[in-house]
Chain A
Amino acid sequence: MKIALILTLTGLACYFGLVLFVIPQEYYDVQTLDPQPSFTAKVSSNHIHLGDSFDVVIDSSNSNDAADIQIVSISFPNMTQTGNHVEIVGYDFTQSPRYIKTGEKIGYDYSGGTKSVLAQYPSIEAYSRPVNPGAHHSIELKVTPDAVGNFTVFAKTVAIPHTSDHSHYPYSGVKDHQNEYVESFSVVVSQ
């Protein structure tokens, strides 16, 4: 009886030894996914009159590894609110779009929300989950600027897990209010 008890206790000690010190190491060494998202953007016109609209089409894709989540963000630094000025006319992402208002708490520096900042201007986030390599998703917007001058549109895509500098696109250039790289497009709006 005593021997059986000792064996049982030894078994328990072995269990905790394995799950605390041996097994975690084995699983921790499993390679992390390295998705590489990108996009192509088309702006229908670079010069319009006030009251007219232009179209923005963003076609996103992913390569290398699958992404748990891929986000495409299109923001409008000249606006304080999108209101009726921005309309989604085409959308094939798997999740509904999110409309980010000025002053809303948003993720910062590719942290996915673990670090946050307040939005300085409105944006629209399109996202899918999961996104396999080779998958394409696109969003088409109809934008009607509300003032004359240079109207700017920022676009970027970020994949989660964000494991390297290739987990977002673009990799360099202009940074937005989230301290993340964006591609910038300008449309001249005249009277």
Chain B
Amino acid sequence: MNYSQNDYAKNYRTFFLGNILVSIGILIVTTGGSWDISNHLLNRPETFFAPPHFVLYSGVMVALSGATLVMLKRSVEQIKSENRISINLVQIGIALLLGAGPFDFLWHSSFGLDGLLSPPHLVLICGMTFSSIGSFLSITKNSTLFVRNSYLVKNVLTVLSIIPVWLSVTGLFFSFSLPFSQTDYFDFNPNPVFGAVFATVTFPFLISMMLYLAYLVNDRKFGFISTTGATLIIINMMTSIIPNPWLHLTIPFYLFTIVPIVLCDLMLKLSKNKMCSYFASGIFGMLGYFIYYPLITHIYNKIDTNQIVSASMTSKIYFEMVLSVYPLIVIPCIVMGLVGGWVCHRITRSIKRQETSSQLS
């Protein structure tokens, strides 16, 4: 099929918009998912028809509409060849998301209250992860075609494309570390030691990778690390802290976590020195215990104080553990932060290389 220059621009715009919708949809799904975890902890809903489930599945609908636009434009040869991996990821991810809905409903109907890690939830989280990574790749690759100098738009796109990936992978990591998966029928709870080690290794890696990604895909400019980090912290505050009235007192402490992120962003602006990059990665890794408050309390409590982490006791137990847990995890956290930064360098280099070659072609 022959396309004019105008048609190409139109097709790319639709494709780009489709990916943005997928990202927005996954952002809604992950926010609903995080709220759902808090709702299960506080109120133990015993029905599928809970408000967080409504938010979650309306996100699936938004992502589906975006995926439809992506699918419509995948027949355009140039779009297909340049975005093969990302299109496939979106396709697989959306198929898993669509399958997860009825599967989850059937599971609730057969086994009542389900845990965090259950077959339908795992399908849902994998769907979220695949589609968010797919749309992130497409948005990053094609954003230069549509956004040139607008700092604000770049910031919005960075947040929209990275936060869904960050939240989806967080959900996946929490599934294998939080002790929320024991029900009357199944016990999918991780071994407490495994859960703690897994969280210590994976969360610092993820934080460092995501914040560094925001920095590198925007040509190492100031502000993107801060915006991305602050957005994640605000979403986590709204979905994990605000629903529990006993945690409201700790909101200033949680918001304070934005400070080291902004300081690292500032440091990277002041010096492009390699040492500073390593230092910032290590600091990002060190923030795992603070960024994942309050849920991380349940993971380390199992191997430290082993108390009942009820709604009103969460913050007390969290702060009680700081000085016993943090010294033990700080070194692995720094190491994993460094690894996250290094992996991120490799990934962005490969994205940029593909971007340059497609621009040349």
Contact = CB atoms under 8 A, between A and B. Distances in A.
Interface of A: 1, 4-5, 8-9, 11-12, 15-16, 18-21, 23-25, 27-28, 30, 32-33, 66, 68-69, 94-96, 98, 111-114, 129-130, 160-162
A12 B262 CA distance: 10
A116 to B, nearest CB: 12
Contacts of B310: 68-69, 112, 160-161
A135 B277 CA distance: 56
Given A5-B270, A15-B263, A19-B290, A95 B312 contact: no
Interface stretch (B27-35, B217-225, B319-327): B319-327
Nearest to A128: B44
A8 B222 CA distance: 14
Contact of B312 (A27, A28, A32): A32
B46 to A, nearest CB: 6
Contacts of A69: 310
B50 interface: no
B312 A24 contact: no
Interface of B: 42-44, 46, 112, 184, 249-250, 253, 256, 259-260, 263-264, 266-267, 270-271, 276, 283, 286, 290, 306-308, 310-313, 315-316, 319-320, 322-323, 326
B308 A95 contact: no
Contacts of B46: 95-96
Majority secondary structure, A binding face = mixed
A23 B318 CA distance: 12
Contacts of B322: 19-20, 24
Contacts of B311: 68, 129-130
Contacts of A21: 323
Contacts of A68: 310-313
A12 B283 contact: yes
A112 B316 contact: no
Contacts of B112: 96
A114 B307 contact: yes
Contacts of B43: 94, 129
A27 B42 contact: no
Given A1-B271, A96-B46, A11 B306 contact: no
Contacts of B290: 19
7 contacts: A15-B256, A25-B319, A27-B249, A68-B310, A129-B42, A160-B310, A162-B308
A114 B313 CA distance: 15
Contacts of B320: 24, 28
A32 B307 CA distance: 14
B308 A20 contact: no
Given A5-B270, A68-B312, A161-B313, A20 B323 contact: yes
A33 B290 CA distance: 24
A113 B326 CA distance: 26
B43 to A, nearest CB: 7
A28 B318 CA distance: 9
A112 B308 contact: yes
B271 A9 contact: no
B316 A15 contact: no
Given A20-B326, A161-B308, A11 B263 contact: yes
B2 to A, nearest CB: 55
A16 B283 CA distance: 10
